[in-house]
Amino acid sequence: MTNAYDKAFAQSINDPDGFWTGPAEDCHWYKKWDKVLDDSNKPFYRWFTGGEVNTCYNALDYHIENGRGGQHALIYDSPVTNTIRKYTYVQLRDEVARFAGVLFNQGVAKGDRVIIYMPMIAEAAIAMLACARIGAVHSVVFGGFAAKELATRIDDAKPKVIVSASCGIEVKRVIAYKPLLDKAIDFAEFKPEKCVIFQRPMEEASMVAGRDVDWMEAMESAQPQDCVPVAATDPLYILYTSGTTGEPKGVVRDNGGHMVALKWSMKAVYNVDAGDVYWAASDVGWVVGHSYIVYAPLLQGCTTILFEGKPVGTPDAGVFWRVISEHKVKCMFTAPTAFRAIKREDPRAELMKNYDLSCFKTLFLAGERLDPDTLHWAENCLKIPVIDHWWQTETGWAICANCMGIHDFPVKMGSPTKPAPGWNVQVVDPDCNVVKTGEIGALVVKLPLPPGTLPSLWQNDKRYVESYLEEFPGYYKTADAGYIDEEGYVYVMSRTDDIINVAGHRLSTGAMEEVLADHPEVAECAVLGVEDQLKGQVPVGFLVLNAGVDRPHEDIVKEVIAMVRDRIGPVAAFKTATVVKRLPKTRSGKILRGTIQKIADNQQYKVPATIDDPTILVEMEEALIGIGYAKARK
């Protein structure tokens, strides 16, 4: 017996033109498309060729014309500055149109690039939408990124203008952005013509005469700009993948397919309607911030929340509950690491009792594997569906999800449920043969990819093919490993390079992490394979404990080793684990497993530009030396 999901999925694969026509007709077009799916230049598939649109018009003006002008479009909530500011659709449209005038006055026109190097303030979203309004291509670089990394992006995108702020705030620490920006421009071969700087009261930036423009002063004299029609296949933005070293890899997102897929996903995946309050607790510098702080909620006519804070420490582990309660959030999307941090600080969720969360209907988690312990904790505390879903910077929206607006499937631990409509997910071996049900292999997506995904890399079609399409011809390589069970549920076990070979046995470190995370005193963990002369590789575990645990660490280590032996078996050869204060992560919350592995294997490594705190690598080195792996470096 089929359900609504089965019907939608089957049509999306067998009749993509028919399937995506409905969502496309739900958007505003200046000129309707000639072709829904254009496959005339494989493997470079394009969506809605011949159509003309404007993403900003669909996100703002469209709703005003349809009676939502007085509804809140954006709520800026900043516990680090003690500020809450709300914008109606009319107010946000007016700010965006005026800042589009600022960019116009600096010579920015359709097709020009604008780099946005901003903290989590409303002006970051305003700058993004202003670029979209006049057909400029924005490239948001995570605020506070190192100068050399920003310089590589300047050289690749060649922006006419850079938009920045005087500073960002990390909990209680003020980070001056302008010196980093100035240094990046010095490093870069390409020089932007102008920099527009938003001065924050916590840190005033020094301005370069003739180049730097004050945001507020420029806004006073700017004339609001109307939306500029662009081709559906024109780029909306470039987003450089986190962790990039050397030549950056700029993921391109087009206007038409992106607009159609993201608006459709708000109801289909998240079950959110126009007028609902939606909160993605991420950063505009990451793909989640692009897709689900700025674009998708506004395309759907929702109220979106832009949060400048952390899950703990701003001021405590109850801040998420405060935001949900105060702003009547219906659906939230964040990373599992945020909930692990909350669970570690407040394991019994005592702070949750201070807030009325009756408005809160669903929690979505993504960005890394969701361990069963965190899932159970969130479900038990919140008493609402907690939905794991899987996607990537390149894909722009969910590859797999429990599509709550189509059909609510039973949750299976460790699985983001089934492929979303449009995603023909398969599992293949190294020779590109589809493996048997339940066997681990490379997770791939049969081409064409659905709308909203990357059509290519910025001015680098060759690298796009080499990076994503070459290894498995006819498929997009996700670089994740996993399997599909007999009911069609997808299990994302780990990155393909996290499958380790222990004495000829291929084992998933992700499966071992699930076991470790199930220990009641473990808040967070990581498992990685390190070199071993006898077995080739052996797994080593790293444990971060819940706050207040005072038992001997060696007892906990013995217990998790026994758990792995019991659940996975002696074949895992899991005999070594150590307790650490914290794990090295990117600013988006992903554990830097590759860097830890290089430390363990005594290899040279580069401190990743995206790392949250470089001093943690010294702590990891000391921990590895303590268990007999890494050697002290000179």
Per-residue confidence (pLDDT) for residue 618, from 0 to 100: 83
**Intra-chain end-to-end CA distance of the chain, in Å:** 66
Phi, psi of 540, rounded to the nearest 5 degrees: -125, 135
Burial class (CB in 10 A: 0-12, 13-18, 19+), 606: exposed
pLDDT tens-digit readout, 356-366: 999 999 999 99
H-run or E-run covering 505: strand 505-508
Q: Where are the beta strands (DSSP E) in 292-365?
A: 303-307, 331-334, 362-365
Q: How confident is the model at residue 354 (pLDDT cuts 50, 70, 90)?
A: very high
Assign 167 to helix, strand or coil: strand
Name which of 70-79, 107-116, 492-501 the model is least confident about: 492-501
Q: Read off the pTM.
A: 0.84
Q: Between residues 540 and 586, which one has the greater pLDDT?
A: 540
pLDDT tens-digit readout, 401-447: 999 999 999 999 889 999 999 999 999 999 999 999 999 899 999 99
CA 434 to chain centre: 29
DSSP string, 553-595: HHHHHHHHHHHHHHHT-GGG---EEEE-S---BBTTS-B-HHH
Positive or negative, the CA dihedral 593, 527, 493, 333 is: negative
Question: Is 80 exceeded by the pLDDT of residue 492?
Answer: yes
Burial class (CB in 10 A: 0-12, 13-18, 19+), 350: exposed
H-run or E-run covering 152: helix 147-157
pLDDT tens-digit readout, 92-102: 999 999 999 99
Average pLDDT, rounded, for the chain:
92
pLDDT tens-digit readout, 241-257: 854 334 678 999 999 99
Per-residue confidence (pLDDT) for residue 495, from 0 to 100: 62
pLDDT tens-digit readout, 513-551: 888 988 999 998 889 888 776 667 788 999 999 988 989
Q: How confident is the model at residue 602 (pLDDT cuts 50, 70, 90)?
A: confident
Per-residue confidence (pLDDT) for residue 333, from 0 to 100: 97
Distances in whole angstroms, Cα of residue 489 to Cα of each of 140, 402, 413, 417, 498? 34, 10, 10, 5, 21
Residue-range domains of the chain with CATH = 4-309+389-482 (3.40.50.12780), 503-626 (3.30.300.30)
Rounded Cα distance, 388 and 370, in Å: 7
% of the chain surpassing 70 pLDDT: 94
pLDDT tens-digit readout, 622-633: 888 888 876 544
